[in-house]
Chain A
Amino acid sequence: MSPLLQQFLSEARDFLEGIGQKLMQLENAPTDVGLMTELFRFMHTLKGISGLFDFPEMTRVLHAGEDLLDAVRNDRIQYSQTLADRLLNAMDFVGMLCDEVEATGNIGATYASDSVRLTESLRDLMYSVVNENTASQHYLHLESKTTGMAAQLLPTPPIGLKHVPELVRMKAYQQTKAGQPVYWLRYTPIEECFFQGEDPFFQVRQTPELLWGNIIARESWPRLANMDAYRCQLNFRLLTGASKATLEDHFRFILEQIIIEPVAHLFFIIPTGDPCGGPVYEDFVGVALGFLATNNLTELTQAAKTMLELSCPDLWLSSALRWLLLVLENESDNHAALTAIVESLRSLNPPNWLDIQAQCLSSTSSSQPEPVHGLVENNLSNVQSAEHAEAIKSLLTTQRDILLLPITEPWQIGRMKAVSNVLSGCLRATGELEQLSNLALASEQSIAQGIATPLFDWLEQTFFLGTSIASNDLGQTSGDHDSSATSKAPSIPEGLVNTEPRPIPEVDNELKFGRRAEDSATDPKSLKVDQAKIDRLMSLIGEMVVSKNALPYLAVRAETVYGVRDLSREIKAQYDVINRIAEEMQDAIMQVRMMPVSFVFQRFPRLVRDISRKLDKDVNLVLEGEHTEADKNIIDSLGDPLIHIVRNSLDHGFELPDVRRASGKPTAGTLTIRAKQESDRVIIEIIDDGKGIDPEVVKRKAYEKGILDEASLEKISDEDAVNLIFVAGFSTVEVISDLSGRGVGMDVVRTAVEKVNGSIALESEKGKGTHIRLSLPLSMAVTNVIIIESNDQVLGVPMDSVVETVRIPRAQIRTIKHSFATVLRGCIVPLKSINALLSIDAQPQVNDDELAILVVRMGDESVGLIVDNFRETIEIILKPMTGVLANIPAYAGSALMGDGSVLLVLNVKELLQCP
């Protein structure tokens, strides 16, 4: 894997994390412009860098996301939860692609369709969010859903299908009838495609199972002298029998430039040829309809064949007869279709398949049509035609209003396409097919010129001046348009833009570079360094700190052994300088390793949101003190325990909204995660206002699981009982869910926290909530220890467990049974002799009839250790015991002292737990 790709992956993950975080923040402040801009910039940059690599699947999704955010940013659409959901989903997909790239080096073709689906889900949002209430959404759904057989078929026949030679269409018809869908594919290469090394012509020539294809110019050619050979001006239209998946794979790099639509078999039936009829056909039509009415298909076939033999094969009528025969052969039971073809012989207009499509679908999609079903369908279509005029009227008015809207931005040209699509649908529905070519001309002029005038003029002329449709029942209604249109339409217009499934907006290409320049200005001045390098630097500085500590010893030797007092003083002066620099170095390296806890916190908004939604709970997350800093190792070790705790809170702690309401709490629970610094420790508190932990339940469970015996069951305090949840193997939940209940959670949490010298405390009040408090050291690198003496041995005790050092007269030490104790500021403190604990056979040394007591914290109590003497506290680099010594729990580790000796550091907790 190239270093560039590696860097991309690491940056991409950062960006994804950032995007997720910003989306979460936006959920609480949907109107925050600053957040939105930042989010957009993340998406934009990520898309930009993804374009450096050959990952069309990834770039496509990101591009759609970017467009969507741009729309939100410019207030064209509203931020919504659906939007956040889809974006998060898309970002998860991108994350998955990153994993895939990391594992295999590229992205498998299988992701292409997912990528397109996600892209469409994002793009849909850009057009549907605004008008969630309009009926046009139904239409959109019909088009975008490609599940059911009926929905797969195109509601309108593709324009241009009639250019396909009859033989090819007949073949396609038979293939579709046989249950193998045939697709109409429109490919509109972007103008700059030649510069991206594409050859659209080659691409389409390689299309699998190509039935037919043609190439047309987008607009009339300019004068040859003005032509730019390197701007693609061609559109492609293909008819192919390959499966949709195969096609998507074939065009996977340019999926957004193609439109694949399945074609209903009836749409292929378009008679073509010389339209010169004679009266003899009138007779034939009458006879044929008679045969149809009596279901005498054999006679009909015979008559049609005879008729065909008599006619010139180039005639329009011959073509229609050939289709009639083909339909007779393939679906002789489809009377609606047969009648339509026969009727068309009289009218010389191609059958309007849209009108009879519903009927045909119902009777052809299932091999055995049910009569009752057919009846219902018939009735339905009658009802539809009664409402037809009304619907078309409102559609036309709306289209006109849309065209009246000003066009200020390039993407709005998409409206024209949409309007043109709607209008062509209307024409088909009313059977005004000869107007289609005029419409196509007008819309192409409009799109090319970027103004709505040609299309608007056409619309006015055709419909509102009452030339063609005025003769139909639409005419009377179009009269009162002018007065009612403006007042009626306002809510509908933009919704109808939906009818264009993917009006791919021409993204302002020339702006991109400008934006990129903007981005570079905000580049953070930071450096990504491998953690191993920092660790090495830190251990070197540690060595340095230790070896500098040798200088005072040297000074003492210079004076006492060699008797050079001046030299001794100079060494000491020098030592002070080195000491100061070393301390600063240490401080600096600590700063480098320090990370804000927000690094861990940032994943919680998403986690809480996902889990609470899954559990149908309503939980507000409050994060406090995210800027509190701690060593990276500590932060890293914090992640998993916190997730466990939060999950536990959500799963066991919070009640369902109904229960909460019943107990008089606000329906939405509050989960607070707070970080703060207390001297040299980081305190993390997780507070929920859920139902708390019931000590009785915990006790019973602990007893059932054999964690408690009967005697201790009686005397254990509620507080201690609650803390039993930290014991290994404890779980109060009967059913193991995917969230919790396996009985490892809290035990793992405690172990993980103690591993980094942290401690965990839990308080819970039944019905009020639970409060968990983690206390962790700021840094693990340097440990403060106090040096104690015991029987002439020097030992270290970590300062974080030391409460105080006191000297107590021997008289104040009481003996309770065989144990010692003393009273310190009104509290009884048990005393233990360090010699006894370490099995050293010596009595504690007494100075002036006083004993030196080191008071240490042991959980919630204090214990006094009787030692011989105290010395100074020093900072050491604690190295854990290795090898054979690693199994001695009484020692936390060892450290090298300035004079070269080794200091053993006690693990007080373990030491005191030894019996």
Chain B
Amino acid sequence: MPIEFKKNLVVFKGVVPVEDAEVLLECLQTNSAVKVDLSDCTHLHCANLQVLMAAKPNVTAWPGDKEFCTWLKSALAINAV
């Protein structure tokens, strides 16, 4: 499972496929205090990304991949219109 749901923490691992977006959205809808750990993530499907962008959870750890990290940081930081 590329997404692991722990108590108040969602851990992303490897490549997160499109199917997980729905579960992720559900989780973020029900629990607003949830944080995300992206340290082992190598790619997020666009659908997951936009869920994160919309929900704006706290990120406890950013991905190791520098280029990917830049993408995510800019996307999750500039969250405005």
Contact = CB atoms under 8 A, between A and B. Distances in A.
- A-B pairs, top 6 by smallest CB distance, nearest first, are A201-B46, A221-B54, A229-B21, A215-B75, A229-B25, A214-B74
Contacts of A201: 43-46, 49, 71
B22 interface: yes
A199 B78 contact: no
Contacts of A233: 50, 54
Interface string B65-81: 00110010011001111
Interface in A191-206: 194, 199-202, 205
Contacts of B29: 224-225, 227
Contacts of B22: 229-230
Contact of A217 (B21, B46, B68, B79): B79
Contacts of B24: 229
Residue of B18, B24, B28, B46 ringed by the most chain A CB atoms within 10 A: B46
B61 interface: no
Contact of A202 (B25, B43, B55, B79): B43
15 contacts: A163-B78, A194-B18, A194-B45, A202-B45, A215-B53, A216-B80, A217-B50, A217-B81, A219-B81, A220-B80, A221-B54, A224-B25, A227-B54, A229-B24, A234-B49
Interface of A: 163, 189, 194, 199-202, 205, 213-217, 219-222, 224-225, 227, 229-230, 232-234, 441, 444
A93 B67 CA distance: 41
Nearest to A222: B54
B50 A224 contact: no
Given A199-B46, A224-B54, 5 more contacts: A214-B78, A215-B75, A217-B50, A227-B25, A230-B21
B81 A444 contact: yes
Contacts, number: 82
Interface string B24-65: 110011000000000000011111111101110000000000
Contact of B53 (A163, A194, A200, A217): A217
Residue of B18, B24, B43 ringed by the most chain A CB atoms within 10 A: B18
Nearest to A233: B50
A205 B46 CA distance: 11
Contacts of A222: 54
Residue of B28, B44, B50, B80 ringed by the most chain A CB atoms within 10 A: B50
A219 to B, nearest CB: 6
B38 to A, nearest CB: 14
A885 to B, nearest CB: 73
Contacts of B68: 205
Contact of B51 (A213, A220, A229): A229
A230 B47 contact: yes
Contacts of B74: 214-215
A906 to B, nearest CB: 78
A251 to B, nearest CB: 15
A220 B46 contact: no
B43 A229 contact: no
A358 B67 CA distance: 37
B47 A194 contact: yes
A225 B50 CA distance: 14
A214 B67 CA distance: 12
A200 B46 contact: yes
A201 B42 CA distance: 12
Contacts of B54: 217, 221-222, 224, 227, 233
Contacts of A216: 75, 78, 80-81
B78 A194 contact: no
Residue of A199, A229, A230 ringed by the most chain B CB atoms within 10 A: A229
A148 to B, nearest CB: 35
Contacts of A225: 29
Contacts of B21: 229-230
Nearest to A198: B46
Given A201-B45, A215-B71, A215-B75, A234 B50 contact: yes
B51 A232 contact: no
Nearest to A444: B81
A12 to B, nearest CB: 32
Given A219-B81, A224-B25, A229-B22, A202 B46 contact: yes
A234 to B, nearest CB: 5
Given A217-B53, A224-B54, A234 B46 contact: yes
B18 A199 contact: yes
A224 B21 CA distance: 13
